[in-house]
Structure 1
Amino acid sequence: MRPDEPSIRYAWSGTDDVAWSAVGEGPPVLIGGWWMSHLERDAEYAPFGDFVARIAQHRRVIRMDPPGSGLSRTRETPSDLAPHVAAMLAVLDAAGVSEATLLAGSSGCPVAIAFAAKHPERVRRLVLCGAYLAGGLIAPDADRQALIDLVRRSWGVSSRVMSDIFYPDATPAQREAYVRHQRSTATAEAAAAALEAVYSFDARPYASQVSAPAVVLHRRGDRAIRLALGAAVADALPDARLVVLDGADHHPWHGDTDSLLNAALRFDGVPDAALARGADEPAPHRQPLPITVRELEVLLLVARGMTDAQIAAELFLSAHTVHRHVANARAKLGARSRAAAAAWAVAHGG
């Protein structure tokens, strides 16, 4: 493990040892896993690593391998949602998090929906990418069974088939990298068992019970999970909106990640100016800001009339850290007062 990599920890769910890790600071975002997630292998896969790093510029990112996947693979992936919900609860408890935004992709979405229904007090918001409610809706029974059998018989061939489905806009080099990544995360038998399980997930009984606000992000040309399935998720949740994005890549860390991440982080409360500063390049036609993204975020909350204690609770920081951010920003801006610094933030970044 490199020195800059987060350490892997374990939480006991009552039936499983669940691997998890965390990076970044701020309001927590829990990424709950999908078909064959793997904390170590995923971190080494550049598209995913970059995706998490972008979120960690603004949030504390908690990742986990659900039961049956990656470093939590003590048994086959459970086909019932209950063990997955219990695993998420155990990770939040172990991380000391009372409330988090859930960011889920693909088969992680039914789990996140079930968790939000069962533990509404623990969910701040839901961000669902490439979502579906029930695995039985993805394809006819015969087609689903044929793909499971192919994965079990020939992981080499099926991993290429899956890369074509998940990542159709990739270059040959990108597709080959994804094939290698898939095969590094699980054996053929484990992959087939996991696929069989996620096809069994059914969150339809839970959707109407979700009280948290949700955004459903879905790419128009997604071949793995059709847009109609994502629209059905948005319709089923009481407080949700559908955002249709261009592109065909299924996983949110492939393709146009900027548009997807901006939509997700904006929904979770990250200011537009902070998103621009968080990108690799400065926003066009704007001069670089003289203060950091975090300092700007704090000042914008000051402008809303919030105290240091209230800002600390909002951003999951200490009141001392908030005070330091305000003081540092004032010094950089040459602002004579807290109010003057806040007014500058509204004028230049709000």
Structure 2
Amino acid sequence: MGLEFVREDAGGAGAPPAARRPAPFRQHLAHCRTADGVRIAHAVAGHGPALVKASNGLSHLDLDAASAIWGHTIAELSSDHMLVRHDRRGCGLSAWDVTAPTLADWVTDLEAVVEAHGLERFAMLGISDGAAVALAFAARHPQRVSRLVLHGAWVRPGVRSPWMAETDGLADLREAATSAPMAERMRKIEDAIDLAALLDRVRCPTLLLHAAGDPEVPLAEAEWLVSHLFDARLVPLGSSHHLPQASEAAWPQWLREVRGFLPHEPDASSPLATLTERETAVVDLLTQGRDNTAIAQALGLGMKTVRNHVSNIYRKLGTGNRERTALLAYDAGLGRTFRPGPQG
């Protein structure tokens, strides 16, 4: 699953013909291999805490930034985070010559991407069909996901409308993203999604956003989902679109909610900037009110290791106790939870 650099034209076996040139956008594009040998294209843009976006079938790394579907979301989130994206197998710049995929295959694709970037624990974003991929990954790897942002999610079969609402840019992106047979196959997988039995494995704080007038997935599905997640909050949006639209009044609210929930990069002068990635994860959980036992369980660490991390954190931050540490960390966006307490 090593890193492979990609030519500027992003061509190669299994890639779709280049029909359009993308708008200029600063991203580093590369390839990796999954455990079963499939070539996956992935990209990183921006600086800050890592935010990994789960894949969508309607996606093309070389065109998304210029599309009306994803452009505004990518631009905003990469302005204050290191945004990691990828094209799932059979789509975009990833290998098209693949056998019929499954939801588990899409999770495998995501595993390869986070390994290629050397990410241990990170926040995740899942929009529409990507929400199921994000949830399935979080259920399989609860120690690696610090928090989830989900938009337009569904986790039960028969919930999604049989038709897709048309929005600006949808037809062009659909044509470039994948073949018609693969699009049909993906639609069948998405309509049959059933993650109800896995939800109790998702332990991280989860922010759900959902358009009140979503024409594809009813708000009732989000209401059901938030009631079955351990640590979650639902924000209904005054919108009638399935995907976030930059032109509508709900978009600024969407950004406020997401940015208020995700961690921020500390100022260089802040003592929080001296913490290691692991220490930051410990502080995040400590600020949620978790005791050492819960921190050890969440991160897969021994109790002695957690105690050593906490002591080092107190020393680096000059705080001396959990309360002062939490006050400092919360201002940097750490410790966001909807279910505070020692045994999170």
Q: TM-score, normalised by structure 1?
A: 0.67
Q: Which residue of 2 aligns with 1:268?
A: 262
Quote the offset at 1:246 in angstroms: 0.6
Q: Is the partner of 1:138 in helix, strand or coil? A: coil
Q: Which residue of 2 aligns with 1:9?
A: 30
State the structure with bigger RCO (CA 8 A, min sep 6), 1 or 2: 1
Quote the offset at 1:311 in angstroms: 7.9
Choose from 235, 238, 250 the match for 1:246. 238
Q: Is 1:310 the counterpart of 2:254 in the alignment?
A: no
Q: Is the partner of 2:175 in helix, strand or coil? A: helix
Residue pairs, 1:256-295, within 5 angstroms: 256-270=250-264
Q: Which residue of 1 aligns with 2:4?
A: none
CA distance in 2, matches of 1:298, 1:311: 15
Q: Is the partner of 2:233 in helix, strand or coil? A: strand
Structure 1 range deviating more: 216-225 or 31-40: 31-40
- Pick closer, same or farther for the CA change 1:50–1:128 going to 2, 3 Å: same
- Pick closer, same or farther for the CA change 1:4–1:132 going to 2, 3 Å: closer
Q: Is the partner of 1:9 in helix, strand or coil? A: strand
Return 5+ residue gaps in structure 1 as ranges: 148-161, 168-174, 271-293, 316-341
- Pick closer, same or farther for the CA change 1:110–1:77 going to 2, 3 Å: farther
- Aligned CA-pair RMSD: 2.6
Quote the offset at 1:179 in angstroms: 2.4
Q: Is 1:184 the counterpart of 2:153 in the alignment?
A: no
Asked if 2 retains the 8 angstrom alpha-carbon contact of 1:10 and 1:20, the reply is yes
- Pick closer, same or farther for the CA change 1:307–1:54 going to 2, 3 Å: closer
Q: Which residue of 1 aligns with 2:154?
A: 132
Asked if 2 retains the 8 angstrom alpha-carbon contact of 1:215 and 1:242, the reply is yes
Q: Match for 2:101: what amino acid?
A: P
Aligned length: 258
Residue pairs, 1:133-148, within 5 angstroms: 133-139=155-161, 144=162
- Pick closer, same or farther for the CA change 1:131–1:166 going to 2, 3 Å: farther
Asked if 2 retains the 8 angstrom alpha-carbon contact of 1:38 and 1:69, the reply is yes
CA distance in 2, matches of 1:208, 1:187: 35
Q: Is 1:70 the counterpart of 2:92 in the alignment?
A: yes
Choose from 86, 92, 95 the match for 2:117. 95
Quote the offset at 1:216 in angstroms: 0.6
Quote the offset at 1:105 in angstroms: 0.7
Quote the offset at 1:307 in angstroms: 4.6
Q: Is 1:298 the counterpart of 2:267 in the alignment?
A: yes
Structure 1 moving runs of 4+ over 4 Å: 1-4, 311-315
Q: Match for 1:9: what amino acid?
A: A
CA distance in 2, matches of 1:14, 1:307: 36
Tell me the alpha carbon deviations over residues 201-251 of structure 1, each in whole angstroms, 9 at most, x when there is no partner.
Answer: 221121111111101101100011110111111111111111111111111
Return 5+ residue gaps in structure 2 as ranges: 1-7, 9-22, 282-327, 333-344
Asked if 2 retains the 8 angstrom alpha-carbon contact of 1:166 and 1:224, the reply is no
Asked if 2 retains the 8 angstrom alpha-carbon contact of 1:32 and 1:63, the reply is yes
Q: Is the partner of 2:131 in helix, strand or coil? A: helix
> Larger helix proportion, structure 1 or 2?
1
Q: Is the partner of 1:241 in helix, strand or coil? A: strand
CA distance in 1, matches of 2:241, 2:98: 30
Q: Match for 1:298: what amino acid?
A: D
CA distance in 1, matches of 2:89, 2:211: 28
- Pick closer, same or farther for the CA change 1:253–1:97 going to 2, 3 Å: farther
Asked if 2 retains the 8 angstrom alpha-carbon contact of 1:222 and 1:247, the reply is yes
- Pick closer, same or farther for the CA change 1:84–1:226 going to 2, 3 Å: same
Tell me the alpha carbon deviations over residues 282-324 of structure 1, each in whole angstroms, 9 at most, x when there is no partner.
Answer: xxxxxxxxxxxx6xx427x93xxx4541287649xxxxxxxxx
Q: TM-score, normalised by structure 2?
A: 0.68
Quote the offset at 1:54 in angstroms: 0.8
